[in-house]
Structure 1
Amino acid sequence: MSRSTSRTILIAAVAAGLATGMSTAAATPGTAPPTTRQEAYAAAAEEFGVPESVLLGVSYLESRWDTNAGLPSTSAGYGPMHLTDVGTANSGGTHHDEGTEDPRGDTARPMLPPDPGEQDFSAPSLRTVDVAADLTGVDIATLRSDPVQNIRGGAALLADYQRGLGVDSDAPGDWYGAVAKYSGATDTGSARTFADEVFKTISEGVSRVTDDGQRVSLPATPVDADASQLGDLGLRQTGAGEVECPADLGCEWIPAPYEAFGDGDYGNHDKANRPQSQKIDYIIIHDTEGSYQTTLNLVQDPTYVSWQYTLRSADGHIAQHVKAKDVAWQAGNWYINSKSIGLEHEGFAANGAWYTEAMYRSSSKLVRYLAGKYGIPLDRQHILGHDNVPGTIPSTVRGMHWDPGPYWDWAHYFELLRAPFRSTGTSLTGLATIRPDYATNKPAFTGCKTAGVPCEPHGSGSVVLRTAPADDAPLLTDIALHPDGSPGTMHISDHSARAETGQTFAIAERRGAWVAVWYLGQKGWFKASDAAWSAGFVATPKKGLASVPVYGRAYPEAAAYPSGIPPQAVTPLQYTLSAGQKYAVGLVTPSEYYWAVTYDATNHTVVRGKTKYLQIQFGHRVAFVNVDDVDVRLSFL
């Protein structure tokens, strides 16, 4: 029987099954439905005439073959094939709804209120489930929730793209154009990057157990892919312009405007000369909480805010907006802004629970490039989430944003960065690095869609900290988020008692299967099985001091400011670091303040003081202590 005849029979069988309410999970007439994920890929590949390796490779780049419990990605994608349905996924608010953060974070200037604007959901790449439904005859809800049908939908899309190119071949390398189109990219650079990653995955092979316990394997099969098909897709050429980016990522330059408005006002970033003027110490990981196009609209608004790079979810495409030498208004803390580079990752649904592999890979390649160029260590003291950036003064702590949130997979991300979190000591060497098993660690968060309502269980890199070594002990408190001293909650944005994968804390005590670390002036207990052990340096108050102040920014002493530049207050946060407590030291940093309040960059000045600070892992967010206030010692002494 010819392949075309087989497909005709199959379509008729599927239609009959739908009409009678029968299951359509079987891939071919007369066969039993697939019982494993591996069989589902094989059946869908056979049904739609897609090389199985291509179907597996595309799916891996989207979801790593996971189902994510039927929850949407942060860019509206569902299931192993990341079929997108923006209408369903975009319910609820964003993390910006619960924060009053001033992205600029410079108290010397008027507050810049957040204004996310209208969302733009016009991109066809946000509605691929509709096309899959037309091609398969399966309803949209089933395509979202049923892994077998989701895989069939993805296979149908790939086959449709291949037909559109007029290519009739079973050779995986001849599917390059269809794979590139599946990415949803509108430019050649991004489509090429996605397709190259897929065929690299096919050539190298991969095997893993999915989030629902399915073993899936893609054997290593070298492929000579026909990249010339890219020219047949009608995509625009990527405008590389002035990008600072690895050549193989296909980044484009979409500049943020630097404009003066009159009356001394200007936006949306500050000119500088880093790293000559100031060392770049940090890379900040953000979640946009807006679609890719919405995010581009915002960063091109001269009256709004800025960041250096935006990454698109489905294909990992990168756009750069602000040069690394300049200071973007992104992290809500001017000291951090002036010493960091910000990366925004596409995501808009408050209930979005996962990020695509394509975006993780592009992001990790970009971060490795930037870290190498600017000498930034690849650790969680320098690669921070926006949710790890401290408030500047007591009044700003509560309004700080909490992205990328508890579903960002820091362990996988650092594996891609080639800097995985491993034990290099024991529990006696004094430091604990948070390292739960992402897939099986499913904290009972609430409020993803509606306040108080439990979120659907999903893997997470967050570990909850308790006041005692017991599963039912109260959570710790964060007096900035809960001024009345009440315990933290499991609300998705409440990180009062939440440590994140890769963060390293000083060990305070061990009891059986539990370990306590110093956290916001308290002992926070969690299961020792969720930790990796190491040794390093810790800070503790100098002998004779009952407590020392903790700061959200490392600003110079007043005497360091030249005439004409008002000294910035060195204001402690509302927390206490008491005698007997120890906190892991991340880095030693100079006291600096970047005075940049005029459009004319020749008036910008870096004020440097004699005071030096230590960055410590104080709670969910980092903090700073004056070197003169603390003793620094090895963690195991």
Structure 2
Amino acid sequence: MMMKKLLLAGVLIVGAQQAALVGTAQATAAPLPAAFDKAASTYEVPRDLLVALGYAETHLDDHGGQPSAMNGFGVMHLVSNPSSHTLEEAAKITSLTAAKLKTDDASNVLGGAAVLRAKADKLGLTATERKDPAKWYEAVAAYGGAANETTARVYADAVYEVLAAGVNTAGVKSTAKVVEPDRGKYNSDPRTLAATTDYPGALWAAASSSNYAVSNRPTDEKIDRIIIHVTQGSYAGTISWFQNSAAKVSAHYVVRSSDGQITQMVREKNRAFHAGVSSYNHRSIGIEHEGFINDASWFTDQMYRSSAALTKNIADRYGIPKDRSHIIGHVEVPGSDHTDPGSHWNWTKYMSYVTGGTGGGGGTNPYTAEKVCGDGYKVIDSQALGTAGTVYLLYNSTTANNCVATLKKTSLGKASATSAFLQVAGKTKVTDSGSFTYYAGPIRAAAEDKCVTWGGSVGSSTYTSPPEHCG
């Protein structure tokens, strides 16, 4: 948690298993199901898409009217800060006061629907198009107020992932509905490969240069602490906030709740502004975790394992003891006025993963993607599946063939659910799925001058690419 009053909001989301969408957030006093029905009808917004947006932002929890790190309010996260004004926009459209929009659930949902419809109108969606959830992608991306198009896509993708999984929390239900969204200007793949990060498997999204200090650690300053934070907002929103020069806060890493995806935002050698105490910024690495401290539903096992693997890796590289004197919560920083990660954070489980090695999956896979696909194939793309494994896309320049392989990192040598797939534009999707000990695949196909869609899964962690690598 970066600021005492300001908290974070939703954006760089992403690719993930949302089986945990059967949430546990408590229903608030207002009848949320009726609120979503009324708001969707009033502003002609697809009801389940509106629910999915609210869930991606807050798990449909109003957090007692308290603001997020981005100064957003209510289940629909209506924001009022120097760069985003959806709260004021909602007040203008609905003629409701900002105070009511902040504290009354039904009003907040109505305001969220009004803002989303306004984004659709600005894009020129017709009455017919408004009935199709696939056509709302750019409007959803705009609702998040992201700092850039990459983060906006992460935000929108997260909403459509919730839509595909369905919601059953706080008395609100939506039917799982897989939609292939029309991404419009967001159609290109925003991911950055892990080669640019300090931690293999992490994505990279640079924080604003105003939100960290360039340094030369550990040469000039020893790194001897790892600090655990909770974002008080969504994964994508946190990333967006750290990219906003007005924030004056950041962290080195952000971890997603649903699947443990990790985004690095500040290089470890530099000082992120995360601890609130200058001396601890100098000596520590900060890891933010998507969620709110008063809602345990955000703290999934995938998040714990992924974060623990990251912490173990950092500790090993810098010689940091793996104990609770050196791996601490923000609340434990001397002089801090923060309370994260809060009472719902399971330190016993987390530290067992850090010290026991299970966070990283235990052992090393004896195979590589090149070994699985064969001679002549080189990796051209990859996507970490949390800490469970990695799916790879390879290309053979001699044969003009692509190949996909998914390599496990957990349950190595034991048969467990693993898959890989490859679909060349205009051709049938080919999938290798089953219980495998080390990998799924290889799937090879000629794809010269053709777009490909590829991906795979290990357990509940999955990835599906957009059409890409076209020619």
TM-score, with structure 1 as normaliser: 0.39
Alpha carbons of structure 1 residues 255 and 359: separation in structure 2 relative to 1, 3 Å: farther
What residue number does 1:56 align with? 51
Pick aligned residue for 1:44 from 14, 39, 42: 39
What residue number does 2:331 align with? 387
Distance 2:141 2:53 in 1: 10
1:60 is aligned with what amino acid?
A: Y
Secondary structure, counterpart of 1:163 in structure 2? helix
* Aligned-pair CA distance for 1:279: 8.4
1:146 aligns with 2:104: yes
What residue number does 2:154 align with? 193
Task: List per-residue Cα deviations over 1:42-90 (Å, max 9, x = no partner).
Answer: 22112211111110011011221122233323332221111123xxxxx
1:149 is aligned with what amino acid?
A: S
In structure 1, the gaps of 5 or more residues are: 1-33, 86-120, 210-214, 259-266, 301-305, 392-399, 422-637
1:341 is aligned with what amino acid?
A: I
What residue number does 1:371 align with? 311
What residue number does 1:205 align with? 166
Secondary structure, counterpart of 1:54 in structure 2? helix
Distance 2:306 2:210 in 1: 19
Pick aligned residue for 1:271 from 191, 195, 217: 217
1:57 is aligned with what amino acid?
A: A
Alpha carbons of structure 1 residues 270 and 354: separation in structure 2 relative to 1, 3 Å: farther
* Aligned-pair CA distance for 1:183: 0.9
Pick aligned residue for 2:337 from 396, 402, 415: 402
Distance 1:280 1:388 in 2: 15
Q: Which has the higher contact order (CA 8 A, sep 6+)?
A: 2
Distance 1:160 1:201 in 2: 22
What residue number does 1:216 align with? 172
Kindly name which structure, 1 or 2, has the bigger radius of gyration based on alpha carbons: 1
Contact 1:59 1:82 in 2 (8 A): yes
1:122 aligns with 2:66: no
1:384 is aligned with what amino acid?
A: I
Alpha carbons of structure 1 residues 311 and 229: separation in structure 2 relative to 1, 3 Å: same
Contact 2:39 2:113 in 1 (8 A): yes
What residue number does 1:320 align with? 265
Task: List per-residue Cα deviations over 1:71-117 (Å, max 9, x = no partner).
Answer: 323332221111123xxxxxxxxxxxxxxxxxxxxxxxxxxxxxxxx
What residue number does 2:138 align with? 177
1:252 aligns with 2:206: yes
What residue number does 1:544 align with? none
Contact 1:143 1:149 in 2 (8 A): yes
Contact 1:285 1:386 in 2 (8 A): yes
Distance 1:164 1:361 in 2: 40
2:51 is aligned with what amino acid?
A: L
What residue number does 1:619 align with? none
Distance 1:284 1:354 in 2: 16
* Aligned-pair CA distance for 1:227: 2.4
Contact 1:73 1:356 in 2 (8 A): no
1:202 is aligned with what amino acid?
A: L
2:82 is aligned with what amino acid?
A: S
Task: List per-residue Cα deviations over 1:568-603 (Å, max 9, x = no partner).
Answer: xxxxxxxxxxxxxxxxxxxxxxxxxxxxxxxxxxxx
Distance 1:257 1:292 in 2: 10
* Aligned-pair CA distance for 1:355: 9.3
What residue number does 2:71 align with? 76
Contact 2:211 2:245 in 1 (8 A): no
Note the 1:587-606 alignment, pairs <5 A. none
Distance 2:59 2:270 in 1: 36
What residue number does 1:167 align with? 125
Distance 1:187 1:239 in 2: 18
2:103 is aligned with what amino acid?
A: S
2:142 is aligned with what amino acid?
A: K
Contact 2:72 2:78 in 1 (8 A): yes
Secondary structure, counterpart of 2:328 in structure 1? strand
Secondary structure, counterpart of 1:135 in structure 2? helix
Distance 2:200 2:142 in 1: 22
Distance 1:148 1:49 in 2: 16
Task: List per-residue Cα deviations over 1:249-277 (Å, max 9, x = no partner).
Answer: 6622545799xxxxxxxx75343269xx9
Alpha carbons of structure 1 residues 204 and 345: separation in structure 2 relative to 1, 3 Å: closer
Contact 1:284 1:386 in 2 (8 A): yes
1:284 aligns with 2:228: yes
Contact 2:207 2:243 in 1 (8 A): no
Alpha carbons of structure 1 residues 40 and 328: separation in structure 2 relative to 1, 3 Å: closer
* Overall identity of the aligned pairs, in %: 28
Alpha carbons of structure 1 residues 360 and 84: separation in structure 2 relative to 1, 3 Å: farther
Which protein is richer in helix relative to its size?
A: 2
Over aligned residues, Cα RMSD in angstroms? Answer: 5.4
Task: List per-residue Cα deviations over 1:260-319 (Å, max 9, x = no partner).
Answer: xxxxxxx75343269xx988763432779x99479846869xxxxx8535899xxx9967
What residue number does 2:183 align with? 227
Secondary structure, counterpart of 1:341 in structure 2? strand
Secondary structure, counterpart of 1:384 in structure 2? strand
Distance 1:298 1:380 in 2: 29
Distance 1:226 1:358 in 2: 29
Alpha carbons of structure 1 residues 226 and 253: separation in structure 2 relative to 1, 3 Å: same
Alpha carbons of structure 1 residues 371 and 174: separation in structure 2 relative to 1, 3 Å: farther
* Aligned-pair CA distance for 1:198: 1.2
* Aligned-pair CA distance for 1:374: 3.6
Count of residues paired in the alignment: 306
What residue number does 2:114 align with? 156
TM-score, with structure 2 as normaliser: 0.50
Distance 1:257 1:77 in 2: 20
Distance 2:45 2:231 in 1: 34
